[in-house]
Amino acid sequence: MRKQDSIVGALDWPLFIGYIIMISMGLATVYSVALVEDHPSLFDFSQKYGKQVMWIGVSLFLGLLVFLIDSDIYRKFAIPIYLFVLSLLVVVLFMPPINGARAWLGIGTMGIQPAEFAKIGTGLVLARFISSINVKQQNVRTVILANLIILFPMALILLQPDAGTFVVFTSFLFVMYREGITYDPIILSLINSIPGVKFKQTWVGSHFIPILFVVVFLSLVTLLISNETLEFGWLPGIQIPGMYGVVISLAVFALITFLFLRFISTKRDRRRVTFIVLIGFILGSGIAFVVNTGFQSLADHQKERIELFLGLKEDPDGEDYNRNRAMAAVGSGGLVGKGYNKASVSSVESNHVPESETDFIFCPFAEEWGFAGTFVLIFLYMFMLLRIIVIAERQRSAFNRIYAYVVAMVLFYHFAVNIGMNIGFAPVIGIPLPFFSYGGSSMMSFSMMMFILLKLDSQRKDVFQ
């Protein structure tokens, strides 16, 4: 018989208190920015702040239900939960589009976004799968299955399309990397299938994060120059499309690398060096073409957002209006802000910053409380993230630890990208600020994610799987 601690005694109070403070600050900000003078009651459910109160109440009720369920349930039923949220992602594709995306399931006059809850289902089943295998003996099958767990919901979300949530799902790759899941088995299998080539190990798959940064850098370079035409003054009349300029630059870099490595390597290793440089060039060129093709296939407004973010185009009163107004609102707060309920640039009434109660809620908070207030807000988020990592590292169960890191990475992605959007450091892709932005789906999904973690942690001493 498992020994059950009381909820009060087993709860991680620092994280729970941080959660309560965060949702309280978020509700206060939603009330301030969306206040209608004729409807001042916080519990007026015809207004957004009234609905936010309702969603917070529902989230706390769901949190209570989570704590009434034994923690083993989340591991045992991870696969059914995952399949259920996948089915919702399929169903939503047949719903009427709202704002150009099929992302909502209507329930009466209300609606939910299944993609928000897909993060929970994916996190649970990924934690179960990785905790059930011996990472030191991973093979092609286990690596492919781990990636398919993530790719299935990502593909369905991309079909909606919901670029913001699609990006958030890449956070699971970092969790896999942290747990030791690499692409070495796949890479070795492909390399060793070539006649005359035999590798026992490769550093490529186990250095996923550095390679990812290289891929991101190459992608940015591709986007910056792929639509330009290169001209050479010393070769009059010669013009090279930017996409081919990327490939030529990669070829030159590969040649220099090859000559250098060949010079310092032994005669026995020269064949291997040639192979590695050739594969690197082919992969780099492939990434460049994929990024360029993917960019060209985007809708015009999506391409414009990327071009505006990269500085390839300026349109302060058009497509880049949101980002410019957001930065203006944040900057107008100064050191200590204008005071509560005194935001002018980012209020719903002024409408200078569209969606100021949802994706851009950081703007009115920064305008009201200034640099000092935003410092406190960022400190609270960092405290919660660090606390989740502490919780992850004290788990006896691999399942609990992996799920905790899932929560940490998803929250970090939302926090970093949302604030980056508001201050011009990230493209506008529609990601809410956790526990802060107005919206039922995000509030319930983040709350359930947090309460499941608190429940797993409360019984950590009794679970060893």
Per-residue pLDDT at 332 exceeds 80: yes
Please indicate whether residue 217 or residue 448 has the higher confidence score (pLDDT). 448
| 149-153, 295-299, 354-358: range with highest mean pLDDT | 149-153
What pLDDT sits at residue 199?
A: 61
Give the mean model confidence (pLDDT) for residues 378-395.
Answer: 94
- The pLDDT mean for the chain works out to 81
**Confidence (pLDDT) at 234:** 46
- Res. 2 pLDDT band, cuts 50 70 90: very low
Which residues pair with residue 105 across a beta bridge?
112
The length of the chain in residues reads: 465
pLDDT interval class at 231 (50, 70, 90): low
pLDDT tens per residue, range 80-99: 999 999 999 999 988 887 77
Q: Which long-range contacts (CB under 8 A, 24 or more apart) does 23-26 make?
A: 23/56, 23/59, 23/435, 23/436, 23/443, 23/447, 25/365, 25/377, 25/380, 25/436, 26/52, 26/361, 26/433, 26/435, 26/436, 26/437
State the pLDDT confidence band at 215, using cuts at 50, 70 and 90: confident
pLDDT per residue as tens digits for the range 109-142: 567 889 999 999 999 999 999 999 887 778 888 8
The predicted pLDDT at position 354 comes to 74
pLDDT value of position 381? 94
Q: Residue 318 — φ and ψ, nearest 5°?
A: -120, -115
Q: What percent of the chain has pLDDT over 70?
A: 80
**Extents of the domains making up the chain:** 1-181+319-363+372-465, 195-312
User: Lowest-confidence range among 43-47, 289-293, 311-315?
Assistant: 311-315
* Per-residue confidence band for 205, with pLDDT thresholds at 50, 70 and 90: low
- Would you state the pLDDT for residue 127? 95
The predicted pLDDT at position 16 comes to 94
Percentage with pLDDT > 90 across the chain: 33
The burial class, CB within 10 Å (0-12 / 13-18 / 19+), for 95 is: middle
Task: Name the band, by pLDDT with cuts 50, 70 and 90, for residue 1.
Answer: very low
pTM (two decimals): 0.81
Higher pLDDT, 42 or 137: 42
206 has pLDDT over 70: no
Summarize the confidence of residues 393-398 as an average pLDDT.
90
Task: With a cut of 80, say whether residue 349 has pLDDT above it.
Answer: no
What is the predicted pLDDT for the residue at 3?
A: 46
Burial of 267 (0-12, 13-18, 19+ CB in 10 A): exposed
